[in-house]
Structure 1
Amino acid sequence: MPRKPVARNAVLDAFETLLIEVGERGATLEAVAAKAGVSKGGLLYHFPNKEALIAALLDRFDELAQEEVEAMKTAPEGAGVYFIKASVWDGGPLDRSFVAASRLAEVAHEETQRRFAGIQQQWLEVLTAELGEDLARAVRYMSDGLYFNAVLENGGGREMDPSKTDAEVESLLRILELVRGKG
């Protein structure tokens, strides 16, 4: 009998939510099952252990990050501008996946750290192709700061003040243009 993707996704969504809300230690199999509205046996049917759940979450993160890399490559405004604009928490699937995975990285989960490094390297390569190595790193750090500041200030999920966020993004875009010699 094939596994039901709806139940599997509900379990994975519950795990992601618990990682965001309570961290890795609070995201026990029992808590995940309760949050997903399934029995522990139902959870184990889809994910035989916590590592399998983590692996599925990281696969989701990889898929979403790959979509972002492709969007960067084809962005009409360019990868640098796209990357800065995309660094604002919007609560979308990539944001949630990123924060959930970062909770695993916080506890030194090696596979999570390896995947983060790979994704960051891909982002940097796309930015470098457009901006050169030094400016690409600066844009990545600007973007990281914007994103993490937003997550910390807003608890990683509350409504953000769009006027403040827009002003910060516009400021960083002006700096990018100045450094590129277009300002």
Structure 2
Amino acid sequence: MPAPSARAKLLEAFVTILLEQGERAATLDAVAAAAGVSKGGLLYHFPSKDALVDGLAEHLETLAADDAELMRAAPEGPTAYYIRTSVFADTPLDRAIVATTRLSQTANPRARQALRRIHRGWLDALADEVTDPAAARAVMLIGDGLYYGAAMSGETNATPPEAVDELLEVVKRLTGAGD
């Protein structure tokens, strides 16, 4: 497997600093140092912190769009896929979501826009299966709750598989799936 590009290293360093130290610590100098890239190399890819945020938002949107496609293609259907994967597993997608959420908490408009877009993409994928818009939103909120609980606890296995199975039974009743 080829080594990650400088751009990818910079984005991962930005994410790591946001997750571990917060936005204030995520200066251009700190990101360059954490990525092992010169500041000039960082500025070549991201000429400002806003450009770095844009890069992270684009990266997140790409990862989430790929995930929405996996939802649509999942053998058990988008709803079950969404619920089963709504656990924090420290994947690149998870890390990008939490890092972008940290930026949105400081009213960063690009971060908020990215989060709205990925949410819309997942809701659209759920709506392919769940035709009642309120039921689709309820499924999304159940998944969001699972994700939030796991992400905030810092545990990747905060919800045992049997508890997810129980929630899927509730979701089936809510959405009328399997009738």
**Contact 2:61–2:117 under 8 Å retained in 1:** no
Instruction: Give the whole-Å Cα distance in 2 for the aligned partners of 1:121 and 1:40.
Output: 36
Shift of 1:95: 0.7
**Contact 2:88–2:156 under 8 Å retained in 1:** no
Quote the residue 2:167 is aligned against. 172
Q: Which moved more, 1:78-87 or 1:33-42?
A: 33-42
- SS of 2:118's partner is helix
**Contact 1:88–1:165 under 8 Å retained in 2:** no
| Residue 160 in structure 1 maps to residue 147 in structure 2 | no
**Contact 1:61–1:94 under 8 Å retained in 2:** yes
Q: Which moved more, 1:40-49 or 1:17-26?
A: 40-49
Change (3 A) 1:181 1:123: closer
Change (3 A) 1:181 1:56: closer
Change (3 A) 1:168 1:25: farther
Instruction: Give the whole-Å Cα distance in 2 for the aligned partners of 1:97 and 1:75.
Output: 23
Quote the residue 1:34 is aligned against. 33
Mapping of residues 48-67 of structure 1, within 5 Å: 48-67=47-66
Quote the residue 2:42 is aligned against. 43
Count of aligned residue pairs for this structure pair: 175
Task: Name stretches of at least 5 consecutive residues in structure 1 with no aligned partner.
Answer: none
**Contact 1:128–1:135 under 8 Å retained in 2:** no
Which has more helix, going by share of residues? 1
Shift of 1:5: 6.6
Q: Which moved more, 1:61-70 or 1:171-180?
A: 171-180
Task: Please report the TM-score for the alignment, with normalisation by the length of structure 2.
Answer: 0.89
- SS of 2:129's partner is helix
Shift of 1:55: 0.9
Residues 33-81 of structure 1: CA distance to partner in whole angstroms, max 9, x if unpaired? 1211122222222211111111111111011011011111111111110
Shift of 1:177: 2.1
Shift of 1:182: 4.3
Amino acid at match of 1:57: L
Shift of 1:173: 0.8
Amino acid at match of 1:173: L
Instruction: Give the whole-Å Cα distance in 2 for the aligned partners of 1:118 and 1:58.
Output: 10
Residues 131-158 of structure 1: CA distance to partner in whole angstroms, max 9, x if unpaired? 121211111000000001000111xxx5
Quote the residue 2:139 is aligned against. 139
Mapping of residues 75-154 of structure 1, within 5 Å: 75-131=74-130, 132-154=132-154
Q: Which moved more, 1:12-21 or 1:113-122?
A: 113-122
Task: Name stretches of at least 5 consecutive residues in structure 2 with no aligned partner.
Answer: none
Task: Please report the TM-score for the alignment, with normalisation by the length of structure 1.
Answer: 0.88
